[in-house]
Amino acid sequence: LYRLLPRVSGVNNGLAQINGEWPFVERVAEILRTDDKEYVHSGELPFQRLEEGIRFDGVTLTYPGSTRPAVHNLSFTIPRGSMVAFVGTSGAGKSTLVNLLLRLYDPDTGHIWVDGKDLKRLRLTDWRERIGVVDQDTFVFSTTIAENIRFGRLDADDGAVRRAAQMAQAHEFIAQLPAGYETEVGDRGYRLSGGQRQRLAIARAVIREPEILIFDEATSALDSRSERLIQSAMGELRQDRTLVVIAHRLSTVVDADQIYVLQDGRVVEQGTHPSLLAAGGLYASLWRIQAGSAPAYP
Ligand code: ATP
């Protein structure tokens, strides 16, 4: 974590220092605010690629200063190459899973196994290099679209920027902007819509060619066209990746291989979209609420 500090401060005075780790910056900043935290230590085992999958095994985490576990005795598997989704009402523990996967926190009890090895034993830089994160709130820097995508991988050439944008279903809207990829965005430039920002975030994550992609969906409502485009981007991305989706809109996860429904830090239901609908439980009622109204949870 301390290794990241100069990069965090580099956001203000020289973006070149961020070196591809910037998706973690906001989450790291959150942790830096809790001063009673024991920082995680890197393990020693090299990590190159996922062979079988990730397994949470009885994982419990209580945040420092809190009295209640944010996640409680969680067990589930994310097989390599699958799309696994987590849904649940606000505060159910979805973002905590991401924090654990990124090793911003370690479990108090239980284990996270990666191909049978405890995640704590893996070299942290190796692990994080192979993960891409599409965060809830995409930070748009005041520079060109191309540079905004390149923040995912600073040495990416124009072809790679374009391919990432295509995969994220962002190329079409970018091509229509006044100066295409060179259009200035952010505070003083062209204002991107919520859906465009999310696709920019996907492009920024996929340009790193991550093996595991975590998509922590924004809560903001999207127009139906943006929603369709993001769904189609995810359809393409799942082809050769392991996709972990934290979903606020259930429409995002209808095609997931497995959906886990969280409530108060526990898995209360699991299955595919049709099987969960048929079960008539929490998922089915969330689906009914969303189908009848706007996107986010009640
Ligand atoms: P949302 O859909 O609103 O993002 P979530 O399902 O992602 O919610 P989490 O953010 O994982 O839920 O929160 C789970 C529980 O942990 C909540 O009770 C929350 O208040 C608590 N929590 C989350 N982050 C922290 C933190 N850094 N310190 C203390 N408690 C936290």
For the residues 21-49, what does the mean pLDDT come to?
Answer: 67
What residue's CA is closest to ligand 1, atom 16? 70
What residue's CA is closest to ligand 1, atom 10? 95
Residues 6+ apart with CB under 8 A from 181: 144, 145, 146, 158, 161, 162, 165, 174
State percent of the chain over pLDDT 90. Answer: 63
Express each pLDDT in 175-220 by its tens digit: 999 999 999 998 888 899 888 998 999 999 999 999 999 998 876 6
Q: Which position has the higher pLDDT, 2 or 229?
A: 229
Binding site membership of 93 for ligand 1 (Cβ less than 6 Å): yes
How far, in Å, from the CA of 31 to the mean position of ligand 1? 13
Binding site membership of 70 for ligand 1 (Cβ less than 6 Å): yes
| Confidence category of residue 230, pLDDT binned at 50, 70, 90 | confident
How far, in Å, from the CA of 142 to the mean position of ligand 1? 30
Q: Which position has the higher pLDDT, 217 or 146?
A: 146
* Mean pLDDT for the chain overall: 85
Binding site membership of 99 for ligand 1 (Cβ less than 6 Å): no
How far, in Å, from the CA of 144 to the mean position of ligand 1? 34
| Confidence category of residue 71, pLDDT binned at 50, 70, 90 | very high
pTM of the entire predicted model: 0.84
- What is the structure's pLDDT at 290? 81
